[in-house]
Structure 1
Amino acid sequence: MNQKHSKEYKSIGQTIKKYRKLRGLTQEQLADMVCISISYLTKIEAPNCDQPFSLEVILDISEVLDISVHQLLEDVK
């Protein structure tokens, strides 16, 4: 991963985790609904996230969690 953006990826991953838990979903459930592997989602949500992810994944996750992409990105600075 580009170290320049590692902080941002970590922040987005933690926001995904927060909204997933608020929706009462497990990682496995969210991964299935987004059509990604659970290991990929686990890496995205890890506090030491080393997994870059695409805009397509962000869009799919925000759709499943019924939140705007803005909500996933609002804490990124």
Structure 2
Amino acid sequence: MSSDTKIILRQIGAKIAYYRTLVGLSQTELADKMHTTQSTISKVESGNYNDNLSVVMLKDIADALEMDVSLLLEFNGFEKAMWDKKIGE
């Protein structure tokens, strides 16, 4: 897997953790809403979920957080600039 893909998966995971915290859910509570495990949520949030993250899982997470899935996939200029810096290192 390319380094830019790893960075994107980590950024998506960070957004999930941010929004999960914002709505006041623990990893376990989010996992329960999705009928999965806390370990799975932890791996997703760290960007290490089987080096892959399906659209279906993203949709399930967004639904459990009662948000639009597009918020997890949109990145502003600052976030993209950080990727360029990390990839260039």
Shorter-chain TM range is: 0.7 to 0.9
Aligned position for 1:38:
38
Deviation at 1:64, TM superposition (A): 1.1
Aligned position for 1:60:
60
**Comparing 35-44 with 17-26, which one deviates more in the overlay?**
35-44
Partners of 2:41 and 2:19 in 1: how far apart? 13
Instruction: Please identify runs of 4+ aligned residues in structure 1 that moved more than 6 A.
Output: none
Report the 3-state secondary structure (helix = DSSP H, G, I; strand = E; otherwise coil) of the residue aligned with 2:9: helix
Larger RCO (CA within 8 A; separation ≥ 6): 1
**Under a length normalisation based on structure 2, what TM-score does the superposition of the two structures give?**
0.75
Kindly tell me the number of residue pairs found equivalent between the two proteins.
Answer: 74
Structure 1 vs Structure 2 CA RMSD: 1.5
Unmatched segments (≥5 aa) in structure 1: none
Amino acid at match of 2:31: A
Unmatched segments (≥5 aa) in structure 2: 81-89
**Under a length normalisation based on structure 1, what TM-score does the superposition of the two structures give?**
0.85
